[in-house]
Chain A
């Protein structure tokens, strides 16, 4: 009898283990969705479409990924949906933008923060840059800061929205120079913010390095500085803000990657965390990313978890009292 109970228990345990294993082994048995909180054609959407290309390969996930756009309100709409309504079975992932969603979580009014989601892996990092029109009188950060100090609150500076990387960079610059800019969040995201600078609607702007590098090549803007710890390979001649004497770190760098909602089975998370970075590193992906001027930075789940925690602390400090 004792033996029977023992073997029955063992059997049950074995069954439990085997079903557990088979769940992870079966996953994924159908295509996986990737929710993007920005419109089709934006940098996040467009990069997400590239990095998910090899998902269907047998040595990756064996199932293709498809993109589902839910744009609106600087990403709040899509991430709200993802936090509350998305299925927690690994068949719906979301593209994250840090610092955007962490800053929005700190500011409140949304249904998520850094703890609502489980990171899987990071694919890219796009630093913010300070730009001015090609005919602008400003030729360096020093010129711009001198003007801002002489005319507090008159240095109109466009950016993609409130509490996105561009806004964080503006806040950090204001703090570092002890001066006042006029940050103008534009309707229509980064492209509209870029247009505002090129058309002279604003005196300066903060934009994505990848987009600004393209505008520089076309001869439409001047890039004054990069808001990162080191100079960027795309723009070796552009100084960092730190070199210009402004104490601004990399808190505004726009990290992009994939995440799932909290509550997704651990074995599914583990499988994704193991396979997705390989997918990002696929030759076809890195080639396309290079062709499109999109800066790649592949980070593992553990590295992203550390980065999120660090960002959350820095941003809470920066946004205090705003």
Chain B
């Protein structure tokens, strides 16, 4: 059946916009329940050791305190590690809050105070006295490099580095031009604006409704039912709005465990909200130390790439992400050797953070490419074009589509790249040095199996439903667009329902795969409803569509009309009447095409161009202009799509210039655990960000032809900033963030 595309590709305002600008959108810590009790977490003070004693007597005297949970009085929960492993857990033994007296990282929750009011719980929490026996800890990754290991068990969905190809060692030794350096990006914390929170509503008789900050309600549902051995049907998880997550909400966090535990024990509703400080007491972007070597011919053609990364992980889990593999697929090179290893430090397990691994690995690769271009006196963009990868050499597959050349060209034109004087320190205005840098971005364009339900009623209203989330990405809006187009409806006739574990199964919202996964499922469900309705319409008495086949009709304005004669039509209401129904509800499941994926590699690409101004005396860096040209297949909603890229770029600017979670290795603790000392970009840090989407025909890996946008915006950005800083100052900074001290050094 031909599709109406009124909304697909059109800039639509967010359908949840009104709820968000009026304060009516409710987040996890804002739902209420009769008799709601408040939990406050007591955080541990040492990095490693054991709790020798815990004295709650003073705290219990605080009026309003209901119960103080510690490892000594916690209820029994599931025995096996696998019961605690959520949908995206890496291999290992997941952390169990209040499990025993052992302390395995600084900030570990050691008690939960539950009281009648938030203030009483907070007050009492300050009176819990914990005595520790410390053990030696190590949080400095550099001191553990000698013990680095290849993870014995791979994390699902994370490809290990490909086998070496060619002979990178010999090719590097023989290459006339070489660069080799170490690179480091500081650990970062996600810091969504909404602190992690869970409101557990006790419905009586062991039944719970849980409002959780999570990027997939079903992940929370499955974790809770598994850990607390609850019947599937007794738990329903709702997360209609998620106040940012960026990966921090992929895994259920400890406040969920504590709130559920307290609710089940007290048989009443309990809310636990973490403080901003406590937002630094779980996952983070891992400390990763890299070395990169590039060998090239004088014309710039790459002869050898060696890229190695060692990343920190916790004592209890082997967190893994893709850091070095990008170096094997971003450019053509026949001699490539990539290595990725882990080393254990005494922190919590790292956690996927926006484009996990990619901005780290691409920072090294794209800095190295810039160094190589400078060494060879080649334009950095020209060097990249000379090494353009026509296929994914890591797997030997063709790209499903790749319009990176067009992105380079359009981005360069918009930026004015051709006017760049290649010499560092060649542009200046007053006391500021001006630099232009660029970099390539690449991220996977995934699709996961997902199910969705579409319900059309005789009044011409449509509901589409799937258990995915909208963490600010615009999922509500694009699912509404897809549904509206299937039936030629107005946006306001369509309701998208998500963020509810009872809806048809959907994967966690992550990996930039939601548009392709949930979107395809919604479209399939709508098409199924459409076929049913068309069948009814044809068999209506004297139906003008009686002899039409589905390729010759169009759904529009509440009707099914003949394509070549729109005056001949059947209304939705009449068709339903003919079928003897007043609603049609169908559920469909879509999954990636394994055949296509065996032949094609789906990736999203970006070409990022950045202008910086560096105060020569103060060393302060301002990013005054960014052009990000994106090749990401078809764009469902240019308005929300642009916002996704802008958001990714801002994340990248933070990584480049300001964000750094600082560990004090003597205490083994992240010290700048607040938003005054952990610097996420503020409004005044951000100037023009120009986003371009290039035409890209993607018809191989998902029915919608989309690739996802949540992550590609960050990937090349930090490298482009560092390259621009080099162009401005002549200083090559290989350790992010580029703070003033590094430039005045």
B is bound to A: no
